[in-house]
């Protein structure tokens, strides 16, 4: 793959990671989530024109 592709991919994934973490942290604060609480999370990635739908699931634990 080209350097241009790699850079655009990294930039996109960094944006997804940073903005997703911010949204989750804000949601946990608003909910008043405490340590030990668990929340099921799901991310659905779609790429138009490539017919890709990629699903990632996991558990996020609350904090103090």
pLDDT at residue 52 in the model: 96
Q: For residue 51, give the 3-state DSSP assignment.
A: coil
What mean pLDDT is reported for the chain? 94
Q: Which residues of the chain have pLDDT under 70?
A: 64
Structural domain including 38 reads 3-61
* Alpha-carbon gap, residue 12 to 10, rounded angstroms: 5
* Alpha-carbon gap, residue 61 to 41, rounded angstroms: 10
What is the total count of domains within the chain?
Answer: 1
Q: What is the pTM of this model?
A: 0.83
């Amino acid at each position: 793959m080209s350097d241009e592709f790699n850079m655009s991919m990294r930039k996109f994934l960094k944006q997804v990671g940073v903005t997703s973490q911010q949204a989750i942290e804000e949601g946990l604060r608003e909910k008043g989530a405490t340590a030990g609480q668990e929340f099921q999370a799901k991310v659905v990635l779609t790429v138009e024109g490539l017919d890709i739908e990629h699903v990632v699931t996991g558990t996020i634990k609350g904090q103090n």
